[in-house]
Amino acid sequence: MAAEPDLAARQAILLSIPGVAEITAATLVIEMPEIGALDQSEAACPAGLAPQTPQSGQWTGRAFVHGGRAQIR
């Protein structure tokens, strides 16, 4: 990561977030290269963190978090 300035900058930003450690930051930078270009709602879906409500016809149910990239979840 240190050899690539763009990746190192993204990792530094992630490490400034409380609770995010080296391995988490490295995983996010590697597995989600678009992380710097998306806003928080757009980044939640590929990460598998966006709630999705299964709906069919008039039935409405609870929203569940599923899908996305398994490595990130």
Task: Output the pTM of the full model.
Answer: 0.63
Which residues does the chain have with pLDDT short of 70? 40, 45, 47-50, 52-57, 59-61, 63-70, 73
CA dihedral sign of residues 62, 20, 42, 69: negative
Q: Hey, what are 70's tokens?
A: 């398994």
- Residue 20 Cα distances to 25, 27, 42, 71, angstroms: 6, 11, 20, 16
Domain extents in the chain: 5-65
